[in-house]
């Protein structure tokens, strides 16, 4: 028998990388369906376009590296990267936004370091941060959830807005969003932070229509759907429990403590838990087997660090969510975390 040597991610069972990535994508289906229900067909269009583009880029890079492209396409890592980026950006973002993001994710964040198993940072989060810093207007142009829209945005309108910048009636995305009174000129997290900085009380901010649910109309259901998918990944042992649990416990403790002592200045724990990218970050992003910590103690430290950074960035940083920045900052700390949490050698 030939001795097969492979790069990480490694698993203790006989599942291949392709199988693990496939289950990650399947577990994200409830979140995708819920996000599409509340925010329209743009999410599906972005996802399909991102998958085709990511697979194309992956194959071209492998050819440039003089390697067989099918070996990379079959592991489904490009599929998961495209999936995470597509659901993270606003559904009606222009097509070139996801194109630039995937170029950074596939070419620079992944293959510049040697391909899967060699990347230091989560490729999808690298792409998201690059886009958010470079194109903040496009990256924050979320439309209102379906429950707050006076007029339905059809599949044809969504496709036209993404690829031409105008809907079938000739209205731009800005005009479409203005037509709904700017209810979601920002996500619930961004709206809360902006309102507090403008001198409004927490009660005044939460009186807006977009907060009629637990943590923002639509957003709580999206997060609960990703939580359901995350529990499925845990049940199937595709991911370890250490990172998502420590992430959520850390975020919950920080948000509870500051909410109790400064209730008018920080969002409630419910908003932190069920808004933004909390659940997809805890179960689908932070658990990346390549860029995350590899020891059990290290995973607990790694997840807790991300949770604390998410709360800090959301509360006092310049960006509304913070999951992407927190994950990348924690990725930088992984070598040190693994070094100080590695288990003792048996008999040492």
Which residue, among 255, 209, 247, 211, has the nearest Cα to 227 in the 3D structure?
A: 247
Reference 162, options 32, 40, 35, 324; nearest CA is 40
Q: Is there a contact between 322 and 277 (Cβ–Cβ < 8 Å)? A: no
Q: Which of 43-57, 150-164, 182-196, 223-237 shows the lowest per-residue confidence on average (mean pLDDT)?
A: 182-196
pLDDT value, residue 281: 95
- Residue 65 has phi, psi (to 5 degrees) of -85, 5
Name beta bridge partners: 166: 172
Residue 132 phi/psi, 5° resolution? -65, -40
287 φ/ψ angles, rounded to the nearest 5 degrees: -90, 10
Indicate if the pLDDT at residue 179 is higher than 70.
Answer: no
Q: 110 or 17: whose pLDDT is higher?
A: 110
pTM, two decimal places = 0.88
How far apart CA 249 and CA 57 sit, in angstroms, is 38
Strand partners, 172: 166
Q: What is the pLDDT of residues 232-273, one digit of tens each?
A: 999 999 999 999 999 999 999 999 999 888 877 788 898 899
Name the 3-class secondary structure at 209.
Answer: helix
Q: What SS3 class is residue 277?
A: coil
All structural domains of the chain with their residue ranges: 187-341
The C-alpha torsion from 229 through 231 and 237 to 241, rounded to 10°, is 120
Euclidean distance between CA atoms 160 and 142, whole angstroms: 16
Count the Cβ atoms, other than its own, within 10 Å of residue 201.
13
**Is residue 306 within 8 Å of residue 277, measured between CB atoms?**
no
Per-residue pLDDT band at 187 (split at 50, 70, 90): confident
pLDDT of residue 181: 47
Query: Per-residue b/e over 297-329, b at no fewer than 16 CB within 10 Å?
Result: ebbbbbbbbbbbbbbebbbebebbbbbbbbbbe
Measured distance CA(57)–CA(60) in Å, rounded:
5
Mean pLDDT, residues 72-79: 83
pLDDT band per the 50, 70, 90 thresholds, residue 180: very low
What average pLDDT does the chain have? 87
Per-residue pLDDT, 141: 82
Mean pLDDT of 210-217: 75
Q: Which stretches does DSSP call E strand in the chain?
A: none
Average pLDDT over residues 151-159: 86
Query: ω before 105 within 30° of 0 (cis)?
Result: no
Among candidate residues 98, 93, 107, the one with its CA nearest the CA of residue 128: 98
Per-residue pLDDT at 203 exceeds 60: yes
What confidence tens digit (pLDDT) does each residue in 24-74 have? Answer: 999 999 999 999 999 989 999 999 999 999 999 999 998 888 888 787 778
Give the per-residue pLDDT at 217. Answer: 82
Q: How far apart are CA 138 and CA 221, in angstroms?
A: 24
Residue in this structure with the two tokens 């396409």, named with its chain if needed: 73
Poorest-pLDDT segment among 8-17, 25-34, 80-89, 128-137: 8-17
Give the pLDDT of residue 282: 95
Query: In the 8-state DSSP scheme, what is residue 7?
Result: P
Is the pLDDT at 321 greater than 90? The verdict is no
Say how far apart CA 92 and CA 64 lie, in whole Å.
32
37-51, 82-96, 160-174: which range is least confident on average? 160-174
- Is the CB of residue 130 less than 8 Å from the CB of residue 156? no
| DSSP notation for 301-317 | HHHHHHHHHHHHHHHHS
Phi and psi at residue 306, in whole multiples of 5°?
-65, -45
Does pLDDT of 182 surpass 60? no
Res 2: pLDDT: 61
CA distances from 169 to 36, 153, 164 (A): 22, 11, 12
pLDDT at 33: 96
Q: Please say whether the beta carbons of 205 and 189 come within 8 A.
A: no
Residue 330: the pLDDT is 96
pLDDT at 327: 96
Contact between residue 247 and residue 281 where contact means Cβ atoms under 8 Å apart: yes
pLDDT of residue 108: 92
């Amino acid at each position: 028998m030939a001795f097969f040597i492979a790069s990480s991610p490694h698993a203790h069972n006989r599942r291949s990388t392709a199988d693990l990535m496939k289950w990650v994508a399947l577990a994200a289906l409830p979140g995708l369906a819920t996000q599409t229900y509340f925010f329209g067909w743009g999410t599906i269009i972005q996802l399909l376009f991102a998958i085709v583009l990511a697979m194309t880029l992956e194959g071209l890079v492998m050819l440039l590296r003089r390697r067989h492209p099918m070996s990379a396409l079959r592991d489904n890592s490009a599929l998961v990267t495209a999936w995470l980026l597509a659901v993270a950006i606003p559904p009606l973002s222009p097509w070139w936004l996801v194109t630039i993001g995937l170029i950074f994710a596939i070419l620079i964040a992944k293959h510049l370091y040697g391909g899967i198993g060699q990347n230091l940072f989560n490729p999808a989060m690298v792409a998201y941060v690059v886009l958010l810093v470079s194109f903040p207007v496009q990256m924050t142009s979320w439309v209102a959830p379906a429950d707050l829209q006076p007029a339905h945005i059809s599949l044809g309108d969504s496709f036209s807005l993404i690829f031409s910048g105008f809907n079938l009636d000739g209205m731009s995305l800005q005009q479409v969003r203005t037509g709904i009174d700017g209810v979601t000129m920002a996500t619930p997290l961004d709206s809360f932070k902006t309102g507090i900085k403008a001198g409004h009380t927490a009660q005044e901010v939460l009186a807006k229509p977009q907060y009629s649910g637990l943590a923002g109309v639509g957003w709580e259901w999206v997060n609960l759907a990703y939580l359901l998918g995350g529990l499925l990944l845990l049940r199937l042992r595709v991911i370890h429990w250490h990172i998502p649990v420590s992430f959520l416990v850390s975020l919950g403790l920080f948000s509870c403590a500051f909410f109790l002592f400064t209730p008018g200045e920080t969002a409630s724990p419910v908003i932190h838990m069920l808004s933004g990218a909390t659940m997809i970050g805890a179960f689908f992003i932070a658990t990346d087997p390549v860029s995350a910590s590899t020891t059990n103690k290290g995973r607990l430290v790694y997840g807790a660090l991300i949770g604390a950074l998410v709360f800090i960035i959301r509360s006092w940083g310049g960006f509304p969510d913070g999951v992407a920045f927190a994950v990348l900052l924690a990725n930088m700390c992984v070598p040190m975390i693994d070094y100080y949490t590695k288990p003792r050698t048996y008999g040492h």
